[in-house]
């Protein structure tokens, strides 16, 4: 990594310069005193680009992205050690919240690094081909940073140049203007980026195409005339989704394909696979890993509090921060009647925790006394409703389950929200110790399954349900159990399946027709995105772009009854407003509902 220490520090857009001017980025060569002249050299400009990429890590090197993108949605609610303000839309979700400020600051830090590149790159003597690629990479990253900001905050300052002195007079640009700038950046990036990246984690044409498709889909998803005017929706937006997503699906930009088994997507030994279009890189060399990817912490239940005689904290099961947990809707609505056919239901969660110690005379929740050997099941979750713990225990008595908890598809009060099936997707068995927070898993931001889902949604929104079904079924067929693949014990014990069918394909049951999706297409797409992308840090944005946030949160998240229409935007950080000079009236500087 690069050490960069700029000489100017000041109040610039809530750390727009503070982010790049006063922070150090480590590399092997220590530079004791540098100025902006560094950026007129090849070494300096490459360092600025590395910094712009590295800043993306801050989304998952803590709770920033989790809190703003998954908490308090229809799919995730408060865990026993989570943030009530965001999960329950409390009054403390305000401009003073530190996570709001952190999210704003790291995005503008990344934008500042991109702007330094655009300002100083013309002055650098280097190979023109690499110069063109650097310009394209910086525009891709700036478009990505602004896309996050405009979805979360609406009108935001649009800064497209670097400053070498203090600047405090920032006005917010309209959402429409921000989208126009994002599309201009990403279109230019797409034209100049290579098809094949020079190194893993660098932007490519496919990454730009995927992000362009997502931006166009977001701008084109507005349901009401008022929202279309705010976003600047164009009649061609959905066609552009089809254009750019289609280039990926039609193999024009590389040979991307679905990983055959959904579970293998999240195998930490299989992070570089055919489905990854763009990912933020982490490493097992902790000195170079910053704070690491910490998402492995937040979806883990307090499994180690069940019975420490037989089940202790382990690297495999993770360190249980339990920030969020799935809502009841995930279990009995999102997957619903087809969950016995949809392998994502089983493969997305840890349903059973295996004893890692021997112990004698253990009393089960059914009142039986048993001896437990390491390798026995210590904790098992039922996806099916039972009225009492005894009823649940009796249903699986023959399988020697030890601690069987109340069914997870029923609402658990806040005092009982530390035990739930843990999400598998972020678990990180590569950590050296049980309590290590510095994770090494890459953050996959764009993957091929989402490309297919965006393509399907664009066609469906144009009422071309034939094409929509074609691309949806590719995703759903991958999610099905394949012939010869053995289903888990849940299939015949809880879900009503026949034991004799435990290795039978469910591809036919997973296929859908036009009639299945045409009546409530947007809700179907939100559900399908939920089934495929659960916990992958995009849910809040999906609900907002479809103008479904308030409705679906009220319908499916029992904790979040306080949600109001104005929560579709986050508050502008007070630290930013306090630094403005001159400062406009509060209704100009702050989003409605937060003043």
How many Cβ atoms sit within 10 Å of the Cβ of residue 358?
13
Q: How confident is the model at residue 65 (pLDDT cuts 50, 70, 90)?
A: very high
* Higher per-residue pLDDT: 154 or 22: 154
In order of 45, 198, 203, 237, 295, the CA distances from 133 in angstroms are 12, 10, 9, 27, 31
Closest to 104 measured CA to CA, from 544, 581, 573, 592: 573
Residue 275 CB partners (closer than 8 Å, separation 6+)? 256, 257, 258, 259, 265, 447, 448, 449
- Mapped onto helix, strand or coil, the DSSP state of residue 334 is helix
Question: The sheet that has 403-404: what strands, in order across it?
Answer: 352-354, 377-380, 403-404
pLDDT in tens, 70-124: 999 999 999 999 999 999 999 999 999 999 999 999 999 999 999 999 999 999 9
Q: How confident is the model at residue 232 (pLDDT cuts 50, 70, 90)?
A: very high
pLDDT at position 468: 98
In order of 44, 158, 343, 381, the CA distances from 498 in angstroms are 64, 59, 16, 20
Q: Give the chain's largest Cα–Cα span.
A: 77
* Higher per-residue pLDDT: 157 or 164: 157
Mean pLDDT estimate for the chain:
89
Residue given tokens 């699986």 in the structure block: 396
Both tokens of 576, joined, read 């930013």
Taking the model in full, what pTM does it have? 0.92
Q: For every residue of 243-308, which 3-state class applies, written as one string?
A: HHHHHHHCCCCCCCCCCCCHHHHHCHHHCCCCCEEEEECCCCCHHHCCCCCCHHHCCCCCHHHCCC
In order of 16, 346, 455, 496, the CA distances from 511 in angstroms are 49, 18, 17, 20
**pLDDT of 394 above 90:** no
CA-CA-CA-CA torsion sign (388, 393, 396, 398): negative
Q: Which residues of 179-201 are buried (b: 16+ CB within 10 A; e: fewer)?
A: bbbbbebbbbbbebbeeebeeee
**pLDDT of 406 above 90:** no
pLDDT at position 417: 85
Q: What is the phi-psi region of residue 190: left when phi exceeds 0, alpha when psi lies from -120 to 50, beta otherwise? A: alpha
CATH-assigned architecture of domain 18-193+571-589: Alpha Horseshoe (1.25)
| Mean pLDDT within 529-544 | 98
pLDDT at position 413: 43
The rounded percent of the chain whose pLDDT value lies above 70 is 88
Out of 281-290, 297-306, 498-507, pick the least confident: 281-290
Q: How confident is the model at residue 332 (pLDDT cuts 50, 70, 90)?
A: confident
| Mean pLDDT within 131-138 | 98
- Of the ranges 6-15, 187-196, 328-337, which is most confident? 187-196
Q: Where in the chain is the domain with CATH 1.25.40.390?
A: 18-193+571-589
**pLDDT of 404 above 60:** no
| Beta-ladder partners of 370 | 362
Ranges assigned E (strand) in 165-275:
172-173
Both tokens of 85, joined, read 């303000």
Q: Which residues of 102-134 are buried (b: 16+ CB within 10 A; e: fewer)?
A: bbbbbbbbbbbbbbbbbbbbeebeeeeeebebb
How many Cβ atoms sit within 10 Å of the Cβ of residue 270?
14
């Amino acid at each position: 990594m690069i050490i960069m220490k700029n000489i100017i520090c000041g109040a610039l857009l809530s750390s727009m310069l503070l982010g790049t001017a006063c922070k150090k980025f480590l590399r092997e060569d220590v530079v004791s005193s540098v100025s902006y002249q560094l950026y007129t050299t090849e070494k300096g400009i490459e360092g600025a680009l590395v910094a712009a990429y590295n800043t993306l890590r801050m989304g998952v090197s803590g709770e920033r992205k989790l809190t703003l993108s998954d908490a308090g949605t229809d799919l995730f609610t408060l865990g026993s050690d989570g943030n009530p303000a965001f999960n329950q839309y409390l009054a403390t979700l305000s401009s003073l919240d530190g996570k709001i400020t952190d999210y704003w600051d790291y995005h503008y830090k990344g934008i500042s690094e991109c702007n330094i590149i655009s300002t100083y790159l013309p002055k650098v003597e280097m190979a023109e081909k690499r110069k063109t690629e650097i310009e394209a990479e910086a525009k891709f990253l700036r478009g990505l940073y602004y896309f996050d900001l405009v979805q979360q905050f609406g009108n935001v300052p649009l800064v497209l140049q670097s400053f070498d002195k203090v600047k405090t007079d920032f006005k917010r640009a309209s959402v429409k203007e921000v989208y126009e700038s994002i599309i201009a950046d990403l279109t230019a990036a797409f034209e100049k980026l290579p098809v094949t990246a020079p190194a893993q984690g660098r932007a490519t044409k496919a990454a730009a195409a995927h992000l362009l498709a997502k931006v166009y889909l977001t701008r084109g998803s507005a349901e009401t005339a008022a929202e279309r005017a705010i976003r600047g929706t164009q009649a061609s937006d959905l066609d552009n989704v089809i254009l750019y997503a289609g280039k990926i699906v039609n193999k024009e930009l590389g040979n991307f394909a679905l990983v055959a088994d959904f579970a293998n997507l999240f195998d930490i030994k299989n992070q570089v696979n055919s489905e990854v279009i763009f990912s933020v890189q982490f490493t097992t060399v902790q000195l170079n890993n910053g704070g690491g990817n910490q998402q492995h912490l937040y979806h883990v239940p307090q499994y180690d509090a069940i019975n420490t005689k037989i089940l202790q904290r382990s690297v495999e099961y993770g360190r249980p921060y339990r920030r969020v947990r799935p809502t009841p809707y995930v279990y009995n609505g999102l997957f619903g009647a087809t969950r016995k056919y949809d392998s994502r239901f089983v493969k997305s969660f840890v349903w059973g925790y295996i004893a890692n110690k021997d112990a004698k005379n253990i009393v089960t929740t059914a009142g039986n006394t048993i001896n437990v050997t390491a390798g026995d099941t210590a904790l098992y979750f039922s996806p099916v409703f039972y009225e009492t713990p005894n009823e649940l225990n009796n249903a699986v008595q023959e399988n020697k389950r030890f601690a069987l908890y109340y069914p997870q598809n029923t609402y658990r009060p806040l005092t009982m929200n530390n035990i739930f099936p843990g999400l598998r997707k972020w678990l990180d068995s590569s950590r050296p110790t049980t309590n290590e927070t510095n994770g090494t898993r890459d953050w996959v931001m764009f993957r091929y399954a989402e490309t297919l889902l965006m393509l399907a949604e664009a066609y469906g929104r144009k009422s071309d349900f034939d094409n929509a079904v074609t691309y949806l079924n590719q995703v759903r067929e991958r999610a099905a159990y394949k012939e010869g693949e053995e289903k888990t014990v849940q299939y015949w014990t809880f879900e009503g399946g026949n034991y004799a069918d435990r290795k039978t394909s469910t591809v036919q049951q997973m296929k859908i027709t036009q009639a299945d999706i045409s009546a409530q297409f947007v809700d179907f797409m939100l559900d399908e995105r939920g089934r495929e992308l659960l916990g992958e840090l995009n849910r809040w944005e999906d609900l907002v772009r479809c103008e479904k946030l308030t409705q679906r949160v009220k319908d499916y998240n029992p904790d979040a009854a306080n949600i109001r229409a104005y929560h579709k935007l986050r508050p502008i950080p007070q630290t930013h407003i306090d630094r403005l000079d001159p400062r406009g009236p509060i209704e100009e500087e702050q989003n409605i509902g937060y003043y």
